[in-house]
Structure 1
């Protein structure tokens, strides 16, 4: 079993992996889309459940939204899972 099967989508896995690589950094939504090689629409639709679950924090600067990995017990578990499950494209 691969992590995207647990999370329900490869896009969610890619988002979490990218945010976990640089946990203190804010990523604007389009920048995040570009860095993981997914469309902005795909990232926008898949990041909302991650925000609702408390795994990703959302903020705004002006009219632009940015995201970063939340710092809590849930994301500690996610970081461990990311290390245990290899990347599968």
Structure 2
């Protein structure tokens, strides 16, 4: 006996409540998928902002160290010049 595919259009016409349940289920799944995407998107933004914050801190520390080294080098040079003048 061959297996035939049911005529889903006729089945849905006979039982419209099934269509309502399927539609409701699909709507719920779409809403859940959208919420997951939004949550992942928010999480990614949080991670990226954290990385950016740490990178900015690292750059600021490097700039502060470089400025301090430059200031010390300038002070040393000025001191050496003044001691040579005396």
Which structure would you say has the larger RCO, counting Cα contacts within 8 Å and 6 or more residues apart?
A: 1
Could you say which structure has the larger radius of gyration?
Answer: 2
Tell me the TM-score range normalised by the shorter chain.
Answer: under 0.3
Greater helix fraction, Structure 1 or Structure 2: 2
Q: Give the structure-1-normalised TM-score.
A: 0.19
